[in-house]
Amino acid sequence: MSATPPPRAREPQPGARRARPQGGAATRLEVVLCCTECKSRNYKTTKRPDKVLSIRKFCKTCGRHTLHQESK
């Protein structure tokens, strides 16, 4: 029997991107979006801590696109 050599580590191909370390999600906050007209909480999303979030999205209760703002 012949001894098999230990497996070699993969070498990156030229021009290949390196994987980013996971941990960027810790800087984002999870918020709930609330319709400004009927006050129903329809969506969950993430945002940067320094921004105030307000987006026009479809409200199922109102049946049309309305402004949704973050709520606590």
Three-state SS across the chain? CCCCCCCCCCCCCCCCCCCCCCCHHHHCEEEEEEECCCCCEEEEEEECCCCCCEEEEEECCCCEEEEEEEEC
Q: How many CB atoms lie within 10 A of CB 69?
A: 13
The domains of the chain are located at 28-71
Q: Which two tokens stand for residue 46?
A: 């993430």
Per-residue pLDDT, 51: 82
pTM of the model: 0.60
Per-residue pLDDT, 49: 86
Per-residue pLDDT, 5: 79
Per-residue pLDDT, 22: 60
CATH code of the region 28-71? 2.20.28.120
Q: What is the pLDDT along the chain (72 residues), one digit of tens a residue?
A: 678 877 777 776 777 666 655 665 568 889 999 999 999 999 999 998 888 899 999 999 999 999 999 987
